[in-house]
Each structure stands twice: as structure tokens, then as C-alpha cells.
């Protein structure tokens, strides 16, 4: 168990996001399907979430990242985004954490 925690800890990284990029179809999806608002996601990023790198993106230095954290009402959220070269985040999805993600978040 300690080894798994160490591996998870090594995956945590720090990145600086200066702007969130929203596509209309993504906004509609997260609001309708996941009941998450833009405001909640903006609060989430202001509350210093934990990041993990996901798969490599289609463009050099533009990878997919997973973020784990809370909004201002302590709602646990999981956000997927592409980190762009200009320190902008293109939001792909946002929803409440499932049990597995809560477990990962508690170890970060």
C-alpha cells in the first residue's frame, strides 16, 4: 500500500493556468449531463486542485490532464482538460468524483 501511495504522489504535478477555454457543446454537456456549472469549475480551479497528467495530446506539449478538487461549497469535482502551450486550459469534461476518484484524491 505504501508503494502505491508513493507512485500516486509522484504523479502529482504543478501547473499554472491563466485562462479557461470553454466550447459551447462542452458547457452544455457538463451542465445538462453532469449538473456542473461554469462557475463551479472556475471556483474549482481557484481552490488549488491536484493535477495528474493523462494521455499525450495530438499536439506537442498539449497533453490531457486530470484535476481533482473542490468548489466553494466543498463539492468534490473531477475535471478533464487539455493544457495548452500558452498556459490555457481547454475544458473537456467536469463532473462529481466517483468513489475511485475520491480514493485517489484522498491520497494526493
User: In a structure prediction context, what are the per-residue pLDDT tens digits for the chain, which is 108 residues long?
Assistant: 323 333 444 555 677 888 999 999 999 999 999 999 999 999 999 998 988 887 665 666 678 889 999 999 999 999 999 988 888 899 999 999 999 999 888 887
**Strand pairing partners for 12?**
52
Cα–Cα dist 18/22, whole Å:
13
pLDDT for the residue 4? 33
CATH number, position 42: 3.10.450.530
Which residue is associated with the grid cell 499554472? Answer: 16
Cα–Cα dist 31/94, whole Å:
9
Which own/partner contact pairs does 53-57 have at CB distance under 8 Å and 24+ positions apart? 53/11, 53/13, 54/80, 57/82
Number of domains in the chain: 1
pLDDT for the residue 13? 64
Domain that holds residue 77: 2-107
Q: pTM for the complete prediction?
A: 0.82
Amino acid at each position: 500500500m505504501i508503494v502505491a501511495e508513493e507512485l500516486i504522489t509522484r504523479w502529482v504535478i504543478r501547473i499554472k493556468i491563466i485562462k479557461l477555454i470553454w466550447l459551447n457543446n462542452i458547457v452544455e454537456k457538463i451542465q445538462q449531463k453532469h449538473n456542473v456549472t461554469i462557475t463551479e469549475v472556475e471556483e474549482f480551479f481557484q481552490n488549488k486542485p491536484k493535477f495528474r497528467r493523462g494521455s499525450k495530446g495530438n499536439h506537442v506539449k498539449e497533453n490531457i490532464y486530470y484535476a481533482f478538487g473542490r468548489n466553494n461549497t466543498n463539492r468534490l469535482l473531477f475535471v478533464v482538460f487539455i493544457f495548452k502551450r500558452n498556459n490555457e486550459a481547454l475544458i473537456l469534461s467536469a463532473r462529481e468524483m466517483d468513489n475511485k476518484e475520491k480514493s485517489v484524491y484522498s491520497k494526493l
